[in-house]
Amino acid sequence: MPMSLGNAFIKNFLGKAPDWYKVLIIAFLIINPIVFFFVDPFVAGWLLVAEFIFTLAMALKCYPLQPGGLLAIEAVAIGMTSPGQVKHELVANIEVLLLLVFMVAGIYFMKNLLLFIFTKILLGIRSKVLLSMAFCFAAAFLSAFLDALTVIAVVISVAVGFYAIYHKVASGNPIGDHDHNNDETIPELTRDNLEDYRAFLRSLLMHAGVGTALGGVTTMVGEPQNLIIADQASWQFGEFLIRMAPVTIPVFICGMITCALVEKFKVFGYGAELPDTVRQILVDFDTEERKTRTNQDVAKLWIQGAIAVWLIAALALHLAAVGLIGLSVIILATAFTGVIEEHSMGKAFEEALPFTALLSVFFAIVAVIIDQGLFKPVIDAVLAVEDKGTQLAMFYVANGLLSMVSDNVFVGTVYINEVKAALVEGVITRDQFDLLAVAINTGTNLPSVATPNGQAAFLFLLTSALAPLIRLSYGRMVIMALPYTIVLALVGLAGIVFFLEPATAWFYQVGWIEPHMGTITEAVSSGH
């Protein structure tokens, strides 16, 4: 019996999302105007924020762009904010949008070099503890200069490649003809090896995911919210790195120690070794690849290496906006590696543009928060605390808890905007603002490793085609992240409370950074 037109509309709405989820989103859209016009706009604003956070938390059921976008469109339509305010937020954060559009696409054209590096790491280190630390360190280093999503995408590509190689040999089928989801084609003699191999890959991917958080928190380009915070504080690359150091250095050291300990004692799902039979398969494949590598392929690796040096130098010296540096990477990488067809370049933008659109919706919700003054009572209460150490700790904890269940870009943007408003209004001093900005940045980056909702890199891994192959579920990811969550959150809090103020004072004394960088007048004139 053919489907009625009415049922067809219902079926098409939000596609394959569960029916209960569709009903809930429709209920949100009906309730919001009623609360806004007949109850209280302030209450309606908080209700909208809660609904938007819900769409982020349910990202595995439906990508947040569609339901969150509907909520944002309705908010503008009923007057909770204005198109002009949304545009203002987008213009104020244009560097973040450029970062996502151009930098992620630029790194796409350097994947060969990154794949080459991770392959050598995987096959060159026999000790699982050292290998895990190497993956974590490499992901941290790369994430300090590149986008974390790009880094985890490279690691996933490496893991998918090696998983496919194993299946090719284990099943006796060519990779192109083999169904990787069909474990029944694998001989029973290899099943134990397969389970060990899955556990091995799971642990490496989780270490790399945490590494993106350890490195991403350190620099202004490591995570999108870092760039927003740096822009609001008028910090350049070097100053951002130094101001974060009292928190990020202890966290990084303790994070690496945690990596070694969970592997050494084989707890929380870690400790699985690479089976010798699988290692031999991978080594043989790498040898064959090396034999077939042409001079043209080698030349591309050298070019990409040189571009990587340019990228790091340009970011460190802040030669241009981060997104424009990414655009230069696209031009250089494609020009010198022969990628000149339009359709070949289009693939590079596929990963970043959906998230760029989602981030634009974030800024629409931020516009509602600003116009309705939703966070002002909370911010005022925290700023009223006289003890600076307690005040910083409260900001760190508040950001951390919200970032565990929501997106850290959203949380960081909201809080830094409110603190900047307090600076402009003369409620806090510039020195106090700088310390609070550090607390906001570290609070949104470190505790958020607790769940895939908080870390975009974790969510990207969980929703990848590799996750079901290696049996990486939401629950397993939360359990494997738990030791890191505890260590990173507590060490970060200790850094905020005990190290940040004295270390910042010492940085001023030795001249590494200047106090009172920027003024209230500059803040007003910049439009933030």
b/e per residue, 467-503, with b = 16+ CB within 10 A?
A: bebbebeeebbeebbbbbbebbbebbbbbbbeebbeb
Could you tell me the pTM of the whole model? 0.76
pLDDT over threshold 80, residue 523: no
Helices first, then strands: H and E counts in the chain: 27, 0
Q: How confident is the model at residue 1 (pLDDT cuts 50, 70, 90)?
A: low
Cα atoms in the 13 Å half-sphere on the side-chain side of 87:
3
> Higher pLDDT residue, 247 or 410?
247
Question: 184, 262 in Cβ contact below 8 A?
Answer: no
The rounded distance, in Å, linking the Cα atoms of 139 and 207 is: 8
pLDDT over threshold 50, residue 186: no
Radius of gyration of the chain (CA): 24
Q: Cβ–Cβ contacts within 10 Å for residue 459, how many?
A: 22
pLDDT over threshold 60, residue 189: no
pLDDT tens digit string along 262-295? 999 999 999 998 888 888 887 887 788 788 888 9
Question: 379, 479 in Cβ contact below 8 A?
Answer: no
**Per mean pLDDT, which of 133-142, 306-315, 382-391 is the most reliable?**
133-142
The rounded distance, in Å, linking the Cα atoms of 329 and 321 is: 13
% of the chain beyond a pLDDT of 90: 32
pLDDT tens digit string along 32-65? 999 999 999 999 999 998 898 888 777 778 888 8
The pLDDT, as a whole number, for residue 313 is 84
The pLDDT, as a whole number, for residue 172 is 61
pLDDT tens digit string along 14-31? 888 898 999 999 999 999
The rounded distance, in Å, linking the Cα atoms of 105 and 345 is: 9
b/e per residue, 210-232, with b = 16+ CB within 10 A?
A: bbbbbbbbbbbbbbbbbbbbbbb
Mean pLDDT of 348-366: 83
All residues at 6 or more sequence positions from 295 whose CB lies less than 8 Å from its CB, including other chains: none
Question: 213, 446 in Cβ contact below 8 A?
Answer: yes
> Higher pLDDT residue, 353 or 489?
489
The pLDDT, as a whole number, for residue 236 is 85
The pLDDT, as a whole number, for residue 520 is 39
Question: 388, 98 in Cβ contact below 8 A?
Answer: no
Mean pLDDT of 239-260: 95
Question: 503, 247 in Cβ contact below 8 A?
Answer: no
The rounded distance, in Å, linking the Cα atoms of 286 and 284 is: 5
The rounded distance, in Å, linking the Cα atoms of 323 and 231 is: 13
The rounded distance, in Å, linking the Cα atoms of 295 and 280 is: 26
Q: Show the tokens assigned to 258.
A: 């945690």
Average pLDDT score, the chain: 83
Q: How confident is the model at residue 435 (pLDDT cuts 50, 70, 90)?
A: very high
pLDDT over threshold 70, residue 139: yes
pLDDT over threshold 60, residue 369: yes
Mean pLDDT of 345-374: 84
The rounded distance, in Å, linking the Cα atoms of 480 and 457 is: 15
Question: 358, 68 in Cβ contact below 8 A?
Answer: yes
Mean pLDDT of 369-373: 85
Mean pLDDT of 297-306: 91
